[in-house]
Amino acid sequence: MKRLAWCLAAALAFAATLALAAAPPLEVSVEGGRIGGRPEGTLATFQGIRYAAPPVGDLRWRAPQPVVPWQGIEPARKPGASCIQKPEMSIDNGGGDVRPIAEDCLFLNVWTPASDPSAKRPVMVWIHGGSLLFGSGGTPIYSGAPLATRGAVVVTINYRMGALGFFAHPSVVEPGGDVNFGLLDQIAALHWVQRNIAAFGGDPANVTIFGQSAGAESVLALFVSPLAKGLFQKGIAQSPYGIPSHTLVKARATAANVATGLKLNGAKASAAELRAVPAEAFTAVGGPGASLSPSFVVGDRTLPQPILASFQKGTEAQVPLIIGSTSDDGSVAAAVGVDPAALVKKLGAARIAVKSLYPRELTDAQLGRETARDVAFTAFARRLAYLHSARAPTWRCYHSYVGEGVRGGQPGVPHGADIPYTMGTAAGCECLGAPATTQDLAAAQRASQLWFDFAASATPVPRDADAWPRDGRLIAHVLEFGETDTVRTDFMRRRLNAFIGALHVVGLLSPAE
């Protein structure tokens, strides 16, 4: 009996030794010094890593600067502060509680299965959404653990938002100077990945950027920004929107309105006065003309021309792209206080023509919701896929899988509700509206596998190309991600062509070639 107990103890000790040997190291050297992470199952997690100096004081409204080196081992066991925002916006829109919040917020997080420079695992960099006003890379819904468990090194980032991230006041921005500071932060984070991710087992030559909503818009902006050239090899854009960017003239006027809202002298406020304002005060400035959300500014070195114009000219990054939308992306209209039924009333006589594009009887509210979805999201994704497919492999998707617990209670997949499936974070996520079922978790496994396969091999279906054919100019293919994966040919063709043509007339989109 004693011998049996001794053998059992020896076996357990040996197993523990093997587990420790297989576990990734929890100390890594990065720019600035050494950091100490924490174990998360079989992974190593490093959170709250500085990728740039705090953008405070004189560095407010400046391009991100290098980190200041530190001594010893800097703890990297919890997310750093989120960038300045109203926390209730993230909570109310399913992004989770982003507190604590501070202007010192340029942090990123890394999940890795192997901190071995020779591992060369695919790298996936997540850019959160939130209308360029709210969100954080450190909330649980954006955990990189599920994708890292599949074999990726996952990075999530913070970036400056609102008036602290996108600002063109003449006293702080010289002619030809930077305006899209939040986009510069994203580019700085990608440079950090290039210089440091090998220490976490990632391959800097195999980086996929992916994001949803404003994060998807950021992915497309990075595709066209000359400052992001060569920093990534693939992109995934979930629900980007066809809302035009702002001109520098509009951005300057908005900045003057913000200064006025802060009780300063509008366009004549000094840089010193603006930099002395407490960061939290910027979230209290509201009203017409006081926000650039949810769009970027065109005309600085990060974004010399609009996203669509770059795709039309073929100057975007010639790398593989997945782009798509959800079956209820129009839910975002109600979320920002727009009445879908009122949208239909504003159509006037055009209401009859629009209604004819939809095959079933709809109330004005639902017609407005679906029209908002198709105009702002579905048609925009189709137009960009059409353009990009001539230059690089392109896949288009449409998420219609509704969680079992909320079926019948919502008309489709709301804006952002695809995230827990594509990131694989559905288990335990309160964002689904009901506890995840076995079928929900299986759907998350399917979706996140597609995203991982794309990151690993530059195709979402390395084993069977027919399972998700590329989108193209001659034949339009869409993968509808529902209870099963279904390939749709010429999906919503008549409707999308009509909207693309109509948007061209008002100058938002160009017609199909």
3-state helix, strand, coil in the chain (%, to 5): 40, 15, 45
Confidence of residue 430 (pLDDT cuts 50, 70, 90): confident
| C-alpha–C-alpha distance, residues 160 and 184, integer Å | 9
Q: Which residue has the tokens 């993968």?
A: 479
| C-alpha–C-alpha distance, residues 10 and 307, integer Å | 62
**Contact in structure between 200 and 28 (CB atoms under 8 Å):** yes
Judging by DSSP bridges, how do beta strands 73-75 and 153-157 pair with one another? unpaired
16 has pLDDT over 60: no
Sheet holding 33-36, edge to edge: 27-30, 33-36, 73-75
What per-residue confidence (pLDDT) applies to 9? 41
Task: Name residue 325's beta-bridge partners.
Answer: 398
Average pLDDT over residues 331-348: 74
Give phi and psi for 89, each to the nearest 5: -65, -45
What per-residue confidence (pLDDT) applies to 14? 37
What per-residue confidence (pLDDT) applies to 503? 62
pLDDT tens for each residue of 51-70: 999 999 999 999 999 999 99
Sheet holding 234-238, edge to edge: 38-40, 43-50, 107-112, 153-157, 121-127, 202-212, 234-238, 321-326, 394-399, 477-481, 485-489
Rounded to whole angstroms, the maximal C-alpha distance in the chain is 90
Q: By CB neighbour count within 10 A (0-12 exposed, 13-18 middle, 19+ buried), where does 292 fall? A: buried
Confidence of residue 233 (pLDDT cuts 50, 70, 90): very high
pLDDT tens for each residue of 175-213: 889 999 999 999 999 999 999 999 999 999 999 999 999
Average pLDDT over residues 146-152: 98
Written as six digits, the tokens of 379 are 């048609």
Judging by DSSP bridges, how do beta strands 321-326 and 394-399 pair with one another? parallel
Q: Which of 23-27, 267-271, 484-488 has the lowest mean pLDDT?
A: 23-27
What per-residue confidence (pLDDT) applies to 378? 96
